[in-house]
Homo-oligomer: A and B are copies of this chain.
Amino acid sequence: MKQNRSQTVGVIEPSVAKFDEPLSLESGGMLDRYHLIYETYGQLNQQASNAVLICHALSSDHHAAGFHSSDEKSLGWWDVMIGPGKPIDTDRFYVVCCNNLGGCSGSSGPSSLNPATNKPYGPDFPIVTVNDWVTAQALLSDRLGIDTWAAVVGGSLGGMQVLEWSTRYPDRIKHAVVIAAAARLSAQNIGFNDVARQAIRTDPEFHKGDYYSHDTIPRRGLRVARMMGHITYLSEDAMAHKFGRNLRHKETFDYEFDPEFEVESYLRHQGDQFVNRFDANTYLLMTKALDYFDPAAKYDGNLARALASANADFFVVSFTSDWRFTPERSHEIVRALQTNNLNVSYSEIEAHHGHDSFLLDIPEYMTVMRAYMNRVAAQVTTHA
């Protein structure tokens, strides 16, 4: 994670956009008022034609690049991708990333204050969907004076938002970059999500989602959910290579329930860290948004018809060892886009890190992203 500060966007101050108009949600719910926290990197050009929107995945937020303080640990989650001279080059693009509705990093969500009660929303925060997030992002775009995005970019759940952007607002997005994504979750994906939710919701400290007022958190459930999730983000090969059957600080078994294998202490550590930074209700909402997303459902499962309104050029990226959203899931998207006679580039990256590859500094991945974003930049210049 060590970065030369001169290669980053530096220390970033987030902004907050407040919205006082009610927002109707896909679930039938409503938010009377809400706010979105966001960051921007680089300069918006005069024509407002060089803006790139970053959509975040399940457990990340608006802090995609740079630092929040002098602490090196405050580096943004996609700093390998975004910054001066990086694939999403902040010397050329004006990059925007917001924490989605329902999040826990500063946007309106279950842990933020419900203006109607002045207490945390808790379980009263409505179910939000990919559709709602894109609606809110479009309202934020208006606020920022961005009529058309040069590109909308996202990995995993972020890639689903990119797909939604491309069909909901086809005239507001020139390029759609869909990374390590799927057009809908499989039964196995939904199964893992539901196990995570059950771990959280059956934790006695969950208090039906109102744990804030009990001054506690469902730590044990969220920890187990994250441990399991983490396994699904890594490939079997990556785990074999990183941990194998290595023991932790010893040569032979002690035959006990304390961690004996390195992989056990690693996963427990990941779980422990996560409960200190992430809200359980947000985890529930994010997994539900994943489950619900299925643009083809309205079209008898025909993804090509679901994507028929899209107008952008597409770049689709998958990773060979991703078993959460396999390359085949990206092929489905590519075929559906091709059926609509859209411009589609596709890159399948040989990578051993599983689903998490989309977050990592993998040379071949960086190269193709850089090349595609060069193409995006060339079109910005033409229009300038």
A positions within 8 Å CB-CB of B: 26-29, 126-127, 184-188, 190-192, 194-195, 197-199, 201-204, 220, 223-224, 227-228, 231, 234, 236, 239-240, 242-245, 253, 255-257, 259-261, 263-264, 267-268, 271, 284, 288, 291-292, 294, 297, 323
18 contacts between A and B (CB under 8 A): A27-B253, A126-B255, A187-B239, A187-B242, A187-B245, A187-B263, A191-B231, A191-B267, A194-B259, A194-B267, A194-B268, A195-B227, A198-B223, A198-B224, A198-B268, A199-B224, A245-B294, A253-B292
Measured between alpha carbons, how far is A366 from B239 in the docked complex, in Å? Answer: 35
User: Is A224 a contact partner of B227 (Cβ separation < 8 A)?
Assistant: no
Least Cβ–Cβ distance between A287 and chain B, in angstroms? 10
User: Is B228 a contact partner of A264 (Cβ separation < 8 A)?
Assistant: no
Least Cβ–Cβ distance between A375 and chain B, in angstroms? 34
Least Cβ–Cβ distance between A323 and chain B, in angstroms? 8
User: Is A267 a contact partner of B27 (Cβ separation < 8 A)?
Assistant: no
On whether A220 and B202 interact (CB within 8 A), knowing A184-B245, A195-B231, the answer reads yes
Determine the chain B residues whose CB is within 8 A of the CB of A255 once the complex forms: 26-29, 126-127, 288, 292
Measured between alpha carbons, how far is A190 from B245 in the docked complex, in Å? Answer: 8
User: Is A186 a contact partner of B231 (Cβ separation < 8 A)?
Assistant: no
Least Cβ–Cβ distance between A295 and chain B, in angstroms? 12
The winner among A29, A187, A224, A261 for most chain B CB atoms within 10 A is: A187
Least Cβ–Cβ distance between A182 and chain B, in angstroms? 12
Determine the chain B residues whose CB is within 8 A of the CB of A291 once the complex forms: 260-261
Cβ contact of A190, chosen from B28, B184, B257, B263, cutoff 8 A: B263
